[in-house]
Structure 1
């Protein structure tokens, strides 16, 4: 209440008390006139309160406030002006909301708002086309009850939304979608869904082309390698001038066969999401075998190779695929570590899952190359890769094997000091034995 209102109340009370005191002075009774006056004053205020309550409850839009006098007249007018201002603000906000909804409704990508528990709050028309959401009956439903793909449920429950998820549409198997979830506000979720069917088809065409070409090239390469081997086995019958050429042909043929084998392995890894032979793997024994192979590969280079593996940790997955991924990392460390260098292989676990790491004291890798190392045929130094006989597909194979085992690869390197490649496996892939 401002100063003017307090003055008005004071004047009203003064105007009430003075006549009551005069009547009391004439009659000799002060209490009764004061009681009657105060009662009348309270009754008048109660009447004004009832008028205010009736107006607020029953008023129609833009209906003027009731007539009032003095203080109550100001109250009626101020409430009316506040309501009109609130209506204008709400109108502007509603106009903004309508424009946002109209613009998002026109998007080809689906936009879905979820609460912190994953229940549907709002979505645009594209979400109904791509995901089959229905208005209004799906409002408040859990998104995992409507998008029932196992990979999406796992993706949402894990809460790790750094990477997008690709899966077929629940309403049309011919549509392929990319889903990206972002947290905002009070842990609410904003889900964006794109139709990437065309990109998926192009990627599938590329995979099919590589797989078919690789299969077609295996037979002629096998024939060529067989004849070269026959000729070299009978080297005494071969013109000495052709000996070096035949040896180089055999070397390059073997390299080509390794390349085709890696391409076929990649095609196989990309064909399905999860390994078919998903069984517990004794990683410590697997790494011991890989360590022995690494020492044989090192031969006379005198590398110091150490292994530290927790025998109580096993992995759910394919032993063949895990051997391929782990051996790629270990053998790369042997190839790119100078003579008498150190290579440490470690397998351990904690509350976040399990980690396999390979640390070397090799030449290291510049930071600008790290993000592209898992790309196919990407080489930091093409001449060095050719010298070591690499195909440029090793880390791509590692990446795909880890994806199939719900794991990720982390690379840390300092030029001139060495590198560390770490594979992080989630807890659901790890089995602890007593």
Structure 2
């Protein structure tokens, strides 16, 4: 192509020179003849450039083919025509793919929403309108957080951490419960999927109601049984000695069942309410001293060395009873699973990421494969360990839900034979600092240190 173009240009120049030379011979004015031929050639070039420019302008509105021409400009227009046909073919194939994708996603019952890197809506299928109220193309070009008006969704989307799905009621129908998943692709664009999980949500509510109702109903007969057992054991000298040990075992199991019911009721309460009713700053340092005393009593026979390092000015906003339940569960678990004369260290501190509580022990440790499931209800690393310690299997589940309600998270680190670390992380917005002059009355927000 380049060789043909050079030959065509050289031929045009030779024709100009030959024509100007012939005209110069006839007129005797060689200079003017060359100038006239050159001007005519430039005029033709400018005319073809004008035609090319006009065609390029028309290309924005239509797919008209390039103008026809001969010679060198004909080759230029033919090359443009080939490029145009090639580009039209690629565009047609891409449009066919887009049409198939849109047709297939439009048939889905789950909502599919495409957004750019800034969260601006580009396209959504039919289910996006019925589940989320997003209309395409009417709502295209708007921020999705302005269209799906829910505080939990805005916080979830703005954080950009989409490892876990978000569940929330549908913005157009409170009876529908949705599970939303956001995925990044390409150059930071967002793909959002929303599915109707109302059926699963109702089943979960039924399960919670069932557990709560059964727990409440079992409390009365269990109280009666425990009361009679206690009465019988108070008169142990009047009972046949062979019945003494069975009665003691029955009392132990009744006490264990009482703890189980209490934990189930607490867990149900944590799951059915979204945020603690009391959100006052709690003196964590005093609470930890109390928990440490209880832990020393619990480990009296094992003689654990329990140490505490806590900032007395560092307070945490939330429910004191719920936080005590969570922190005591972590400390008492360390006591249960740490051998005699072991070491347990409790630390309460803060940094720019927020406040943190760490309970560290040098106990038996836990294998990595069990760590992701430790906060599940009734999950047992080893059934023999549970029978030896008398635990209910709900302690870490309670810790997890308490932290979620206080906008915190639980981190677990453990090595078999080396010990474990359970670290609670709380956001700076949950932290408060007691002022030096009146620590029990005046509080300063940790983020702004203002009253």
TM normalised by structure 2 equals: 0.92
Q: Does 1:243 align with 2:253?
A: no
Partner secondary structure for residue 357 of structure 1: strand
Q: Does 1:221 align with 2:238?
A: no
Cα distance, 1:134 vs structure 2: 2.1
Gaps of 5+ in 1: none
User: Matches of 1:316 and 1:113 in 2, distance apart?
Assistant: 39
Q: Does 1:307 align with 2:300?
A: no
Which residue pairs with 2:124 in the alignment? 123
Which residue pairs with 2:175 in the alignment? 174
User: Matches of 1:64 and 1:241 in 2, distance apart?
Assistant: 107
Cα distance, 1:97 vs structure 2: 0.5
Gaps of 5+ in 2: 436-451
Which residue pairs with 2:291 in the alignment? 290
Range that drifts further, 167-176 or 302-311? 302-311
Which residue pairs with 2:194 in the alignment? 193
Which residue pairs with 1:54 in the alignment? 54
Which residue pairs with 2:14 in the alignment? 14
Cα distance, 1:28 vs structure 2: 4.8
Over the aligned positions, Cα root-mean-square deviation in angstroms equals 1.9
Cα distance, 1:329 vs structure 2: 0.7
TM normalised by structure 1 equals: 0.95
Which residue pairs with 1:102 in the alignment? 103
Deviations 1:54-77 (A, max 9, x none): 344447967554331110111111
Kept in 1: contact 2:125–2:136 (CA 8 A) = no
User: Matches of 1:413 and 1:57 in 2, distance apart?
Assistant: 69
Cα distance, 1:224 vs structure 2: 1.4
User: Matches of 1:147 and 1:272 in 2, distance apart?
Assistant: 23
User: Matches of 1:300 and 1:168 in 2, distance apart?
Assistant: 52
Q: What are the equivalent positions in structure 2 for 1:6-155 lying under 5 Å apart?
A: 6-24=6-24, 27-58=27-58, 63-155=64-156
Range that drifts further, 367-376 or 199-208? 367-376
Kept in 1: contact 2:348–2:358 (CA 8 A) = yes
Range that drifts further, 299-308 or 335-344? 299-308
Matched pairs, number:
434
Cα distance, 1:161 vs structure 2: 1.4
Q: Does 1:259 align with 2:260?
A: yes
Cα distance, 1:234 vs structure 2: 2.5
User: Matches of 1:197 and 1:55 in 2, distance apart?
Assistant: 57
Partner secondary structure for residue 334 of structure 2: helix
User: Matches of 1:117 and 1:433 in 2, distance apart?
Assistant: 40
Structure 1 residues 67 and 283, CA, compared in 2 at 3 Å: closer, same or farther? same
Range that drifts further, 266-275 or 293-302? 293-302
Cα distance, 1:256 vs structure 2: 0.6
Which residue pairs with 1:328 in the alignment? 329
Structure 1 residues 193 and 285, CA, compared in 2 at 3 Å: closer, same or farther? same
